[in-house]
Amino acid sequence: MYPLLETLDSPNDLRRLERKLLPQLAAELRAFLVESVSKTGGHLSSNLGTVELTIALHYVFNTPDDKLVWDVGHQTYAHKILTGRRKAMASLRMADGLSGFPKRSESQFDAFGTGHSSTSISAALGMAVAARLAGNGHRAVAIIGDGAMTGGMAFEALNNAGALDANMLVVLNDNDMSISTPVGALNNYLAKLMSGRFYAAMRRGSEKVLKGMPPVLEFAKRAEEHVKGMVTPGTLFEELGFNYIGPIDGHDLDTLVTTLHNIRELEGPQFLHIVTQKGKGYAHAEQDCVLYHGVSKFDPVAGIVPKPVTKKSYTHIFGDWLCDMAASDGRLVGITPAMCEGSGMVEFAEKFPQRYFDVGIAEQHALTFAAGLACDGYKPVVAIYSTFLQRAYDQLIHDIAIQNLPVLLAIDRGGLVGADGATHAGAFDLSFLRCVPNMTVMAPSDENECRQMLTTAYRMDTPTAVRYPRGSGTGAAVQKTLQTIAVGKAELRRQGERVAILAFGSMLAPALEAGTSLNATVVNMRFIKPLDTELILELARTHGLLVTIEENTVQGGAGSAVAECLALHGVTVPLLHLGLPDTFIEQGEPSKLLADCGLDATGIETSVRKRLSD
């Protein structure tokens, strides 16, 4: 079925192919991608768009000695297939299978592990400088999507790379036509010309001759900028010290291979701008690249058939609440760092476009932007994944908490996230949030409580965070009214004897199940900060063992907060802390991962009985 692709087990095999066969390889690789991802789920649109680029890079560069650093990582399936992992694609994003992102421990061809964005240029620059220090002649290539170029870190790296004059290539995969002018034969021709050694030598020679005549040199530079500016948007990158080439058609293999061959022989920082189409070659994905960005299993012929929604996810609960609260309060503004669909803000963006702000992949900016709005009387709600909030920790402390500004963080994907693995798990937010002064931190146990907590947090005039997991909860009925709950007050859900289980957020359901078997008291703690100190002290007085359970790392988490509370009041009682272990948890089925961590009902009961027997 894939006669050419199946003969390739490494980039060395690829480099032995005749160049005229590369378009056939691209067609087979694209068909294999659709077939493979339809069986496993994963990122599809972005990977279909980088097929030709991946082939050209491995065809021209001597990987793995030459380093390819892929930004974000959800555009690397073709890279995995061409680097000896074709047969393993059936295990993509599964436990003990292939990661959905580049991973150094998985392959020598994965030069740098990525999951978050805007890091590729910094990493590739480090590798380029390392090659210069070692004198080995290896090349470093950063492949960055135009979305990742909205991250400030990318521009910090560009600025540094130009100053260091390192031998590196940055490939901008412009897949939304957001930067480029129309691409055609003339642009492709000029790109080949400008990447050639003759052009580079002529340029250096001209600068040398004209150095003795500064006004003429300046005029020549300006003239070159204007001539190139007629067909390219590269002035910014030229000013940063890069030789800009493009934009070129990222699906034209002949142009890509020729241009990359030329660039590989050039010295100094090079910037290649290519234009690709998300979902290229698969009609369903071309028509709706957003729907096919991240997919579950589907029929490749029929495409994705929407499944009936049996119960709303926490993301949908937040989206509904956001619209309702915005309708009742004109001060509300919604902010997201490039996660409109993922954070459930599509309806809000349509209904309240003047109050919706997508700031791009720029989490640091998102929080300080929110702080500025809060300073002038608005009530910002920042919808952000737990794993991405980590990137804006300084802004949270310095710009929001110190100034005690009323910014609400709606934190999605708290806890384990399944197939996306360690790079996207929200394992640390309870730990790093609760230690920040002025913060109020809540974790709902079901969908209705999530809505109530969002209302409670919004109506406070201090920094707040509501942290909820991926997917749906218990299916609790959600009241449409905007009700609040008492700040810092827990909820006794089951009265038992001897053992008291203090459950935080998503862990209440398995705690109640285990509590029934153990005849234990079970408390829905609700608040990580402030804690219900009065209830904790009462439970310590009346029970022989306190068990804390959270879908967060045990170190410094909610359980640690309970221990600190008891220590502060001089109370000694046996404690058992259950939560995520001190390790990075890889991809897999969420329920199995939680069970492996002892965070299902059986695991909780087993841990408690063991402690009691000890």
DSSP string, 486-533: -TT--EEEE--SSEEEEE-GGGHHHHHHHHHHHT-EEEE--EEES--H
Please give the distance of CA 175 from its chain centroid, rounded to a whole number. Answer: 18
Q: pLDDT value at position 147?
A: 79
- Judge whether 400 and 575 are in contact, CB under 8 Å: no
Q: pLDDT of 438-476, one tens digit each?
A: 999 999 999 999 999 999 999 999 999 999 999 999 999
Q: Which residues pair with 270 in a beta bridge?
A: 169, 243
Within 280-378, strands assigned E span 294-295, 332-336, 356-358
Q: pLDDT of 488-543, one tens digit each?
A: 999 999 999 999 999 999 999 999 999 999 999 999 999 999 999 999 999 999 99
Structure confidence at residue 305 as a pLDDT band (50, 70, 90) = confident
> Which sequence positions are flagged as catalytic?
278, 363, 391
SS3 content of the chain, % helix, strand, coil (to 5): 45, 15, 40
Q: pLDDT value at position 310?
A: 76
**Listed residue (562, 591, 590) closest to 501, CA to CA:** 562
Q: pLDDT value at position 191?
A: 56
C-alpha dist (Å) from residue 187 to 195, 258, 301, 427: 12, 14, 36, 47
- Judge whether 565 and 474 are in contact, CB under 8 Å: no
DSSP 397: I
Walk across the sheet containing 440-442 and list its strands: 356-358, 332-336, 379-385, 408-412, 464-467, 440-442, 527-529
State the Cα–Cα distance between residues 582 and 496, nearest whole angstrom.
31
- pLDDT beyond 70 at 233: no
Q: pLDDT of 114-164, one tens digit each?
A: 888 899 999 999 999 999 999 999 999 999 986 788 888 999 999 999 999
Q: pLDDT of 389-431, one tens digit each?
A: 999 999 999 999 999 999 999 999 999 999 999 999 999 999 9
C-alpha dist (Å) from residue 564 to 440, 529, 561: 17, 12, 5
Whether the ω angle into residue 215 lies within 30 degrees of 0, i.e. cis, is no
DSSP H or E stretch at residue 69: strand 67-70
Question: Strand, coil or helix: what is 608?
Answer: helix
pLDDT, the chain, mean: 90
Structure confidence at residue 235 as a pLDDT band (50, 70, 90) = confident
Q: pLDDT of 59-111, one tens digit each?
A: 999 999 999 999 977 899 999 999 999 999 999 999 999 999 999 999 999 99
Beta-carbon contacts of residue 64 (< 8 Å; ≥ 6 apart)? 11, 108, 109, 111
Q: pLDDT value at position 181?
A: 36
- Judge whether 447 and 480 are in contact, CB under 8 Å: no
- pLDDT beyond 90 at 205: no
Q: pLDDT value at position 575?
A: 98
The alpha carbons of the chain give a radius of gyration, in whole angstroms, of 27
State the Cα–Cα distance between residues 268 and 458, nearest whole angstrom.
51
- pLDDT beyond 60 at 210: no
What size, in residues, is the chain?
614
Q: pLDDT value at position 199?
A: 46
Q: Is 201 exposed, middle or buried (0-12, 13-18, 19+ CB in 10 A)?
A: exposed
Structure confidence at residue 197 as a pLDDT band (50, 70, 90) = low
Per the model's pLDDT, the better-predicted residue between 525 and 310 turns out to be 525
- Judge whether 340 and 315 are in contact, CB under 8 Å: no
Structure confidence at residue 192 as a pLDDT band (50, 70, 90) = low
Q: pLDDT value at position 608?
A: 98
State the Cα–Cα distance between residues 571 and 550, nearest whole angstrom.
22
- pLDDT beyond 50 at 187: no
- pLDDT beyond 60 at 189: no
Backbone angles phi, psi at 350, to 5 degrees: -75, -40
Dig out the tokens for 132 from the structure: 């210069």
Q: pLDDT of 23-60, one tens digit each?
A: 999 999 999 999 999 999 999 999 999 999 999 999 99
Classify strands 270-275 and 332-336 as parallel, antiparallel or unpaired: unpaired
DSSP H or E stretch at residue 79: helix 77-80
